[in-house]
Structure 1
Amino acid sequence: MTPSSNDPFEHTAHWPAELLSEAREVVAYYDALASTYDESRFGHTYGTCLDAIERSLLKEWLVGPRILDLACGTGRFLDLASEGVDLSPEMVRHARERWPDKRIHQAPAWQIPVEDGAFDTIFSMHFFMHLRPRTLHLILEECWRLLRPGGLLVFDLPNALRRRRAGPSASHPWHAATTLEDSQLLAHLGSRWRRTGQRGIALAPIHRVPPPLRKALVPAERLLARTPLKHLASYHLVKLEKRA
C-alpha cells in the first residue's frame, strides 16, 4: 500500500489550470458518493447484472500477474488486479479498507508513482467517459509508459450515437460526456497502440426489464457482445495493445 496525503491537490502547481479545475470537480463528486457508491450503483438487480457482464468480459481479456485497476474507486474490480489507483481520497480509503493487502495509490491517472513497464495489463471502467480530449491524451501516454511492450489497455466508452440522444448531465456536464466515433478513437491511438478487440455492454435495456427477469438476460448479453450488434450497445469495451 502506498501512503499519501489526504489532499489530492497538495502538489499541483505544475498542473494546467483547466486540468486542475476539472479534477477538483470530479474528485469532489466521487468523494461525496464514496460511502454509498457500491450500494447505490450495484446493490440492486440492474447493478448486479451489469457487474456480472463487465466482470466476465474483463476476465476474458486481462492477462499477466501485474494488472492495474485505473480509477479503481472503492475497489469493485480489485480482485482482478494486483494494484489500484484513484485520485479521490474517500474512494481510496474505502478501497484500502476493502483490500488491505493490495497496493492502492492515491494519485492522478496521468502521473502514477510506478516505474516504466510495470504492468502487463491496465484496465479502467467508467472513467475514460468523463475525460476531456487533452486529459484522455495524457492518460493514454501514461498507460503506454506503465505497460510492458505488448501490454494491454482495456477501457469502456459510451456509444456515441446513444449518448448524443441522451444529452449531457445538467448538473455535471463532464459526466459520461466523452464519446468517440471509431475514426476519433483511432486518431487518439496514433502509432503507439493497436486495437485488438471491441465488445458491447448493455445492448438490451436491462433497466427496463422487470427485476425478476433481469438475470436471465445476462447470458444473452455476453453472446451479443461478440456479434455485429455490439455497435448498438450502450457502452463499448475496447482492448488496445502497446506497440513496442
Structure 2
Amino acid sequence: MSGDEERGRVRRSYDTVAQEYRERIGDELAYKPLDRALLAALAEQTADGAPVADLGCGPGHVTAWLAARGVRAVGIDLSPGMVALARREHPGADFREGDLLRLPAADREFGAVVALYSVIHLTPGELGAAFAEMRRVLRPSGRALVAFHTGAQTRRVTQWWGHEVDVDFHFHDAGTVARALAEAGFEVEARLERAAYPQEAETWRAYVLARVSGA
C-alpha cells in the first residue's frame, strides 16, 4: 500500500470519529500536567510573536490552549472533518487542512512546531521526510516537540468507539525518532518517557524536544 493510500485511510477514519473524538479527548490537557508543562516551555522559548504550528491538531484543543496563552497558533490536520470541527469550536485560532509530508506553510513560517501523537500515523521510513518538512517551515531558532507511543509494533484498528474505521497506529522507538530528527537538521535537547495516565490507553509514551541545528 502506498503512503498516499495509507493517509487516505487515516483521513477517512478521523473524519468518521471527529465528533466523538472531540467529546472524549477535547479536554485531555486538563489531566496531562507534563504535556502542559512542555507546551508552556516551548511557547516560552519561541521568539516573541512567532507563530506555532500544531501538527495533527485534531479538534483543535492544543491549538486553542496555546492561543489562549497569547501564542499565534496554527492547527494543521489531515482530516477535513477535524479541521471543520476545530474551526467551529475555536474561532480564535487558525486551522488548515494538510499532510505532515506536505505542510501547507511557507518556508520558515513558524517559530515552533508541536506534533503530539501525529507521527504515529507515519511508518518509521516516513519519519525523516516528515521531520525535513518540519525543518523547512521552521525559522533558524525554531524548536519541535514530538510525542508518540514507544515500541516497534503497528496496531491496525477497524472499530473505534463503535465506528468502523481502517487506520494503523505505528509505535516508534525513541532512539529512532531522535536519529531521524538529527538527520533532518535538528539537535535533540531533551527526551522524556512516561507511563500512561489513568484516562489514557495503556501505552508507554515518549517526548522529544529538538532545536534547529546551528541556531
Are 2:134 and 1:143 equivalent residues in the alignment?
yes
Task: Please list the CA deviations of residues 203-233 of structure 1 after superposition, one character each: whole Å capped at 9, or x if unmatched.
Answer: 365249xxxxxxxxxxxxxxxxxxxxxxxx8
Identity %: 21
Q: What does residue 163 of structure 2 align with? A: none
| 2:177 partner SS | helix
**Residues 116/53 of structure 1: CA separation in 2 closer, same or farther (3 Å cut):** same
Which has more radius of gyration? 1
Are 2:205 and 1:235 equivalent residues in the alignment?
yes
Alpha-carbon offset, residue 170 of structure 1: 5.3
Query: Which structure 2 segments of 5+ residues have no match?
Result: 67-71, 159-165
Task: Give the Cα separation in 2 of the matches to 1:133 and 1:155.
Answer: 14
TM-score, normalised by the number of residues in structure 2: 0.79
Q: What does residue 99 of structure 2 align with? A: 108
Amino acid at match of 1:71: G
Which structure: greater strand fraction? 2
Contact 2:131 2:184 in 1 (8 A): no
| 2:58 partner SS | coil
Query: Which structure 1 segments of 5+ residues have no match?
Result: 1-16, 209-232
**Residues 76/191 of structure 1: CA separation in 2 closer, same or farther (3 Å cut):** closer
**Residues 23/191 of structure 1: CA separation in 2 closer, same or farther (3 Å cut):** closer
Q: What does residue 132 of structure 1 align with? A: 123
Task: Please list the CA deviations of residues 122-172 of structure 1 after superposition, one character each: whole Å capped at 9, or x if unmatched.
Answer: 001111122112332221111000001121010112122xx75xx734535
Give the aligned length.
194
Contact 2:178 2:208 in 1 (8 A): no
Q: What does residue 192 of structure 2 align with? A: 199
Q: What does residue 76 of structure 1 align with? A: 61
TM-score, normalised by the number of residues in structure 1: 0.70
Task: Give the Cα separation in 2 of the matches to 1:136 and 1:204.
Answer: 23
| 1:34 partner SS | helix
Amino acid at match of 2:36: R
Contact 2:80 2:97 in 1 (8 A): yes
